[in-house]
């Protein structure tokens, strides 16, 4: 608990992520696209397939980089949920090749955000990713 509080305070004190995207709708669109890409792998991991983890980690990392960026820019839970739901609705209408193209672009951009973040921001995102992966693994047990 103390570590989590410390990391949250540290995250709030960090400088903004380099090249942070100010368009919250675009960030929500990428989180939705990456969520859709991650779900089949997460389902496999929850079912006990450990081989899905190496493919899932970079997707979750890119997604959390977008989430951290949006949080740093002032986006909070209620608005984030609304933007995510709207993005998921729009993406449900996309043909699979277009969705895959969007997912590829978002994953690259998310990993760039992660790579360009400062040390503390990367540690915060990495910890969140580890926590999410461990949570998925526990559901399998």
7 located within any domain:
no
Give per-residue pLDDT as tens, 60-81: 999 999 999 998 888 899 999 9
11 located within any domain:
no
25 located within any domain:
yes
pLDDT of residue 41: 97
Give the whole-angstrom CA distance, residue 141 versus residue 133.
13
Q: Which range of residues forms the domain containing residue 77? A: 18-140
pLDDT of residue 140: 65
6 located within any domain:
no
Give per-residue pLDDT as tens, 100-119: 999 999 999 999 999 999 99
Low-confidence ranges of the chain (pLDDT < 50): 1-22
pLDDT of residue 8: 41
pLDDT of residue 2: 44
Residues 6+ apart with CB under 8 A from 24: 70, 73, 75, 79, 83
Q: 3-state SS string over the chain? A: CHHHHHHHHHHHHCCCCCCCCCCHHHHHHHHHHHHHHHHHHHHHHHCCCHHHHHHHHHHHHHHHHHHHHHHHCCCCHHHHHHHHHHHHHHHCCCCHHHHHHHHHHHHHHHHHHHHHCCHHHHHHHHHHHHHHHHHHHHHHC
39 located within any domain:
yes
10 located within any domain:
no
pLDDT of residue 14: 39
pLDDT of residue 19: 39
5 located within any domain:
no
pLDDT of residue 60: 98
Joined tokens for residue 118: 């400062």
2 located within any domain:
no
Q: Domain total for the chain?
A: 1
């Amino acid at each position: 608990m103390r570590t989590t509080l410390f990391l949250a305070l540290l995250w709030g004190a960090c400088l903004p992520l380099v090249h942070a995207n100010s368009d919250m709708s675009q960030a929500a669109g990428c989180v939705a696209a990456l969520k859709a890409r991650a779900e089949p792998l997460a389902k496999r991991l929850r079912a006990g397939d450990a081989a899905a983890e190496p493919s899932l980690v970079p997707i979750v990392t890119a997604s959390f980089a977008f989430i951290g960026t949006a949080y740093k820019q002032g986006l909070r839970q209620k608005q984030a949920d609304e933007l995510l739901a709207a993005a998921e609705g729009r993406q449900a209408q996309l043909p699979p090749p277009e969705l895959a193209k969007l997912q590829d672009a978002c994953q690259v951009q998310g990993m760039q955000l992660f790579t360009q973040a400062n040390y503390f921001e990367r540690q915060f995102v990495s910890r969140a990713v580890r926590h999410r992966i461990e949570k998925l693994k526990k559901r399998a047990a």
